[in-house]
Amino acid sequence: MKEKIWLSSPHMGESEFKYVQEAFDTNWIAPLGPHVNGFEQDIASYLGEGVHVAALSAGTAALHLALVILGVQAGDEVICQSMTFSASANPIAYQGATPVFVDSEAQTWNMSPRYLEAAILDRVERTGKKPKAIIVVHLYGMPAQMDRIMEIANRHAIPVVEDAAEALGSSYRGQKLGTFGAMSILSFNGNKIITTSGGGALVSKNEDWVKKARFLATQARDAAPHYQHSHIGYNYRMSNVCAAIGRGQMEVLKERVEKRRNNYAFYKRSLAPYPAIRFADEPNESYYANRWLSAILVEDDATGDLTREAIRLGLEKENIESRPLWKPMHLQPVFETAPFYGDGTSERLFYQGLCLPSGSNLTEDDLNRVVEQVRGVVERTSR
């Protein structure tokens, strides 16, 4: 069996281990410590725009705290992009609120501004109440149409929570993703563009909210010598050991983005002779995608044999991991009864889309092996 090629695996730099050693040497083995503070500062200065950062145990935890801080409660509705990982939507359910799912547009695969507006108007008409928040996602690091989305959100005075879990290193009109929303979240899970093994962050220009996130994430302890609580708390803080890894990873983020963008360019160039395989380019120079994952769309051909599943299985046989695009939330059994606004775009993307191996540690040989297999399937099925 040939060596496994993973979809997206951790890629350590030179300094991570040194910082972890430092955490051991100073015995800061706890969900606080100098690396946690340092990692927060590293992220804040990278993102710019005067943001503050709370380092947390997961991106999911960050999203949950964002909704808690925005006052999302049982009986509320929260608008969420349908095409995403379930972690974007689950925190809505943690709060006992109802997700309202909005379809994608075909250019960026992210939230359709048109259906966002339709959803807001229809929910207000049906329930007499505005949705409490809008969760917009930058899938695979491609910026959503932020101008239009922010204009609609601002006009209706609904806060935007930006799920930038996949989008650290991307920007829109020269502004880093993760700095547009009232609050934003990042993820440092093992498969993301940089990793702390597991972890996340809440980002906001509102320092009080970030302070509140740190307070809630450490069991909401009031200032007292004994344990006293006037809020429900959570255990969501990042460990100093994980933050040590994160500090090292921030030093190589720029290189990681460049490499992933090169992966995308390589696939696009190598598969250009096959019109059935399509790519989602940045719509114009306002968009800068980190290309966390390189994804293709497989157009239906006349024979019906060339499908994304045929390509996925062909890769699997060669010990190469690939994965369909996120299955939209409105098609998930667990969210069956949630309202949905759209025209089937995300469903079509799901049936046609496949994420190819995209790690920043892939070698030229790895990339060639992937392309060779994809070519093989295309040529076999279209004969």
Ligand X SMILES: *Cc1c(COP(=O)(O)O)cnc(C)c1O
| Minimum distance of ligand X from residue 168's CB (angstroms) | 11
With a CB cutoff of 8 Å and minimum separation 6, the contacts of 14 are: 248, 251, 252
- Out of 68, 133, 165, 271, point to the residue binding ligand X (CB under 6 A): 165
Question: What distances in angstroms separate CA 344 from CA 83, 103, 301, one per listed residue?
Answer: 11, 7, 20
Residue 99 lies near ligand X (rule: CB under 6 A):
no
Hey, how many other C-beta atoms are within 10 angstroms of the C-beta on 30? 12
Q: Determine the Cα–Cα distance for residues 170 and 289; give it in Å rounded to an integer.
A: 5
137 touches ligand X (CB under 6 A): yes
Strands (E), 254-299: 277-279, 287-288, 294-298
Query: In terms of C-beta density within 10 A (0-12 exposed, 13-18 middle, 19 or more buried), how is residue 175 classed?
Result: middle
Q: Which is nearer to ligand X, 170 or 187 (CB)?
A: 187
Site for ligand X in 221-260 (CB under 6 A): none
Query: Residues of 356-369 as b/e, b for ≥16 C-beta within 10 angstroms?
Result: bbbbbebeeebbeb
Please count the other Cβ atoms lying within 10 Å of the Cβ belonging to residue 112: 29
Among 55-63, 113-121, 330-338, 372-380, which window interacts with ligand X (CB under 6 A)?
55-63
- Only segment of 66-74, 160-168, 215-223, 366-374 that touches ligand X (CB under 6 A): 160-168
Nearer of residues 117 and 166 to ligand X, judged by Cβ = 166
Q: How far is the CB of 368 from ligand X (least distance, A)?
A: 28
Please provide the DSSP assignment of 235-252 as one string: B-BPPHHHHHHHHHHHHH
Q: Which helix (H) or strand (E) holds 136?
A: strand 133-137
Max Cα distance, the chain (Å)? 76
Return the H-helix or E-strand segment holding 163. strand 160-163
Question: Does residue 189 interact with ligand X by CB under 6 A?
Answer: yes
Residues catalogued as catalytic:
192
Judge whether 358 and 260 are in contact, CB under 8 Å. yes
Q: Is residue 60 near ligand X by the rule CB under 6 A?
A: yes
Complex with ligand X: residue 88 or 263, whichever CB lies closer:
88
How far is residue 126's CA from residue 128's CA, in Å, rounded to a whole number? 6
Q: Is 200 in the site for ligand X (CB under 6 A)?
A: yes
Q: Which range in 53-61, 72-80, 231-239, 277-285 contacts ligand X by CB under 6 A?
A: 53-61
Q: Which is nearer to ligand X, 358 or 381 (CB)?
A: 358
**Shortest CB 31 distance to ligand X, Å:** 15
- Among 103, 105, 166, 321, contact with ligand X (rule: CB under 6 A): 166
Of 141-149, 163-171, 308-316, 349-357, the window that binds ligand X (rule: CB under 6 A) is 163-171
Q: How far is CA 56 from the centre of its chain?
A: 15
User: What are the φ/ψ torsions at residue 60 (nearest 5 degrees)?
Assistant: -60, -40
Range in contact with ligand X (rule: CB under 6 A) among 3-11, 83-91, 141-149, 154-162: 83-91
Minimal distance, residue 317 CB to ligand X, in Å: 27
353 binds ligand X (CB under 6 A): no
Rounded to a whole number of angstroms, the minimum distance from the CB of residue 342 to ligand X is 18
Beta strands at 323-324 and 353-356: parallel, antiparallel or unpaired? antiparallel
Measured from the CB atom, the residue of 57 and 240 that comes closer to ligand X is 57
For residue 185, the minimal CB distance to ligand X (Å) is 7
Query: Which residue has its beta carbon closest to ligand X?
Result: 59
Closer by beta carbon to ligand X, 31 or else 200: 200
Number of residues that bind ligand X (CB under 6 A): 14
Under 8 Å between Cβ of 276 and 380: no
Q: Interface residues with ligand X (CB under 6 A)? A: 58-60, 84-85, 87-88, 137, 163, 165-166, 187, 189, 200
